[in-house]
Amino acid sequence: MNVWRPGNQIRLLENGEAYYPRVYAAIRAAQREVLIETFILFDDKVGRTLRDELIAAASRGVTVHVTIDGYGSPDLSDEFLAGMIGAGVRLHVFDPQPRLLGLRTNLFRRMHRKIVVIDGAVAFVGGINFSLDHLQEYGPEAKQDYAVEIVGPVVGDIQRFAASTVGAPPAPHRWWRWPGRRHLATAPPDTDDALVLFAVRDNQDHRTDIEDHYLAALRRARRSALIANAYFFPGYRLLRELRNAARRGVDVRLVLQGEPDMPWVQFFGRMLYDYLLREGVRIYEYCERPLHGKVAVIDDDWATVGSSNLDPLSLALNLEANVIVRDRAFAGRLRERLESLIARHCKLIGAERAARRNPWRLTLGFLAYHFARRFPAWVGWLPAHTPKLEHLLPREDRADLREADRSHEPKGAHGL
């Protein structure tokens, strides 16, 4: 992690229509190992298709590890899980907690990553969960989101990380000789020589890594910064760098939710609008359906795609994963897709918002700004429990996993 790897092929995948077929094809081509981490796995059309692909892979001898979050995937039935466990799929639940009066109690320190690694040869990283609401057939509430497919040296970093979280030895990393590549070679990647870094946010040694990459890129920005983020309520440092970039003439644009899946998110995000608009930041709200993306393009050759929102949960509590890409072709491709989103489905907030300022809104904005400034310090006051992985395994494998747990405590599973 946090090592720049040259020579990667990378492909932008927009929404479930592009993402799921590529993931399923890679699983079908797997020969040794499938590693999956996902915040949400639902028992719906998408989840059942993934389950069937994993059962088929495990049945032909592939080692399959699937990690889900106890908050994000709380209601999977025994019937849904039994087929996978029976076929030998190793299922892990991050921080399962009992409900209290019918409410989930494990909101904080969630495993929010979305990672798939096949045979150490191809990896997928982004914001797309395994649920039907990432497909347009879901209807007006279908999410707009992004992920990347990567082949190249950085896949080794992603594979080692994903294997370490479940205490598994990674399969040999031979991406250049992987026979399954022919199953995915249906279209050229967006670029085949990208410099890529895999970054995570955890509660140990990488608490601010993803945010730090955003900050460094904004400080270097000279022409433009285009950020699309679903849940926007960043800390003081990031707000300051957005303001500073706009002040020195950088074209700073934010694409935020206009049709939110959780209205309170939009309410809090809008508290910061006045502060940003005063400094020349342009804000667009995406109004076709809920925005779930977590992507950015800065200048002509820096981009990021991943699971990390720019809000207190992602920046200070959740376990997250992004890839940082230094490549003009890929940055251009992502910028093109975001520009299309702005042109077709977004409304500009700036002018009318500034004209309607009133003391109440300014007061809320002031309070929100200072909350954002001090939130990272307040996080340390929250109860510091240590989340664990619960292993849902066939009986014959449980003894082996108990022994592995003694020597491989899951990385990123620690409280602050």
CA–CA separation, 400 and 179 (whole Å)? 30
134, 206, 213, 294: the catalytic one is 294
65, 92, 114, 414: the catalytic one is 114
CA–CA separation, 76 and 68 (whole Å)? 10
User: What is the phi/psi pair of residue 212, to 5°?
Assistant: -60, -35
Tell me the two tokens of residue 21. Answer: 């077929």
DSSP state of 109: S
Compute the 3-state secondary structure of the chain and give helix, strand, coil in percent, each to the nearest 5. Answer: 40, 25, 35
Does 292 participate in catalysis according to the annotation?
A: yes
CA–CA separation, 85 and 65 (whole Å)? 11
CA–CA separation, 33 and 159 (whole Å)? 10
92, 112, 134, 345: the catalytic one is 112
Does 114 participate in catalysis according to the annotation?
A: yes
* Cβ-contact 306, 321 below 8 angstroms: yes
Does 299 participate in catalysis according to the annotation?
A: yes
Does 414 participate in catalysis according to the annotation?
A: no
Helices (DSSP H) in 88-132: which residue ranges?
Answer: none
DSSP for 183-228, written as a single string: HHTTS--SEEEEEEEEEEE-SSS-SSHHHHHHHHHHHH-SSEEEEE
69, 157, 209, 299: the catalytic one is 299
Does 119 participate in catalysis according to the annotation?
A: yes
The angle at the Cα of 307, spanning 129 to 101, to the nearest 5 degrees, equals 65
Which phi-psi region, left, alpha or beta, contains residue 16 (left: φ > 0; alpha: ψ -120 to 50)? alpha
69, 95, 119, 311: the catalytic one is 119
Does 192 participate in catalysis according to the annotation?
A: no
CA–CA separation, 386 and 38 (whole Å)? 20
**What's the length of the chain?**
416
* Cβ-contact 318, 242 below 8 angstroms: no
CA–CA separation, 380 and 317 (whole Å)? 10
Tell me the two tokens of residue 377. Answer: 């310090």
Which phi-psi region, left, alpha or beta, contains residue 110 (left: φ > 0; alpha: ψ -120 to 50)? beta
Report which of 211, 193, 214 is spatially closest to residue 202, judged by C-alpha positions: 211
> Which residues belong to the active site?
112, 114, 119, 292, 294, 299
